[in-house]
Amino acid sequence: MDTETTDKYIEAGKTAKKAIELAKKIVKPGVSILETAQKIESEIMKNNAQIAFPVNISANDFAAHDTAFPNDTRVFRDDDIIKIDIGVHIDGYIADTAVTICFDNSKADLVKASEKALENALKIACPGTNIGDIGKTIQETIESFGYKPVSNLSGHYLGQYMIHTGTSIPNIETNTDVVLKEGDAIAIEPFATDGAGAIRDGSRVGIYRFLENKSVRLQSARKLLQFVQKNYSTLPFAARWLKEPRGFMLDAALKQLVQAGALHEYPVLKEVGNGMVAQAEHTVLVFDKPIVTTV
């Protein structure tokens, strides 16, 4: 990894950290989820960076991929355990970071389990480390608190304009011959739960990604696809970012584009045992002295 690329990863990380700090200040009971998402994303843009993916705001037994919807009326509740997952990029070089906010501290140990697992994993994120050992460290740490890692969620390698490059960083012990290499960019993100230890797709979808140009019947869908291809050709986008069509016409256009294979959808991810989920995440540049860009 050359110096210019490293610097861009680091700058993206600085902005991601600012956005996380803002989230910690503004996420409170009674506050609008839609306004929170808009404020966090505005914080990214005002720092001369770009949004790598819509801010994920996932509560309780929803682990990830939830975000505010158009005209979303939801507010944070007193007993919520909230995961805020933020992606920032500069020229495609991405910082991915997350924090869990618990208002009444009833799940403080669960939050601590995910944070400690991340802390321990970061200690071994060096060239030559087998990624299975990272998963083992995460699993053992979370289990030492009496909880379970979410087995089918993982961290990931990062590429330019690519949030997931295809190789995952496991959150459980895994047999693999993949080792970290000098200059790798990775996101490590332990998920801890008091539930069954796995997630499934939920029914709600607010995040999409362009796949390829396809022929579709609805004129509104054709226009939407042209707009998406022009403005969000590589990274995920939120339905709430789209100004037209609106209402049920937007829903119909998105559905048709997904069915045609033009868009990929990211359903919310729900813990299969209805357990509460906590998440912690940082982005790391792998060197002999690793650079954690998001702290």
Looking at residue 166, what is its pLDDT? 84
Q: Which residues pair with 267 in a beta bridge?
A: 205
Looking at residue 81, what is its pLDDT? 97
Q: Could you tell me the CA-to-CA distances from 148 to 80, 122, 273 in Å, in that order?
A: 19, 19, 12
Confidence of residue 105 (pLDDT cuts 50, 70, 90): confident
User: What integer is the mean pLDDT of 90-104?
Assistant: 96
Tell how strand 81-90 and strand 168-170 pair up. unpaired
Instruction: Please check the confidence at residue 142 and state whether its pLDDT lies above 90.
Output: yes
Confidence of residue 96 (pLDDT cuts 50, 70, 90): very high
Cis peptide before 245 (omega within 30 of 0): yes
pTM above 0.75, yes or no: yes
Question: Which domains are seen in the chain, by residue range?
Answer: 3-198+272-292 (3.90.230.10), 205-268 (1.10.10.10)
Write out the two tokens for 91. Answer: 């020229």
User: What integer is the mean pLDDT of 146-169?
Assistant: 96
Order of strands, sheet of 199-210, starting from the edge strand that comes earlier in the sequence: 62-64, 263-271, 199-210, 237-238
Tokens 């843009």 correspond to 45
Nearest CA to 88 among 29, 22, 28? 22
Looking at residue 79, what is its pLDDT? 95
Percentage of the residues of the chain whose pLDDT score is greater than 90: 97
**255-274 pLDDT, tens per residue?**
999 999 999 999 999 999 99
Looking at residue 104, what is its pLDDT? 86
Q: Could you tell me the CA-to-CA distances from 68 to 16, 114, 187 in Å, in that order?
A: 19, 24, 23
Q: Could you tell me the CA-to-CA distances from 41 to 90, 143, 288 in Å, in that order?
A: 14, 34, 33
Confidence of residue 295 (pLDDT cuts 50, 70, 90): very high
Looking at residue 15, what is its pLDDT? 98
User: What integer is the mean pLDDT of 276-292?
Assistant: 97
Rounded to an integer, what distance in angstroms lies between the CA atom of residue 56 and that of residue 68? 8
Q: In Å, how far from its chain's centre is CA 202?
A: 16
Looking at residue 23, what is its pLDDT? 98
Q: Judge contact between 88 and 8, C-beta under 8 A.
A: no
Rounded to an integer, what distance in angstroms lies between the CA atom of residue 184 and that of residue 158? 8
Q: Which of 2-11, 197-206, 244-253 has the lowest mean pLDDT?
A: 244-253
Instruction: Kindly provide the b/e burial profile for residues 80-115, where b requires at least 16 CB atoms within 10 angstroms of the residue's own CB.
Output: bbbbbbbbbbbebbbbbbbbbbbbeeebeebbbbbb
Give the orientation angle of helix 247-259 with respect to helix 219-231, to 10 degrees. Answer: 80
User: What integer is the mean pLDDT of 202-221?
Assistant: 96
The catalytic residue positions are 85, 96, 156, 164, 189, 281
Across all residues in the chain, what is the average pLDDT? 97
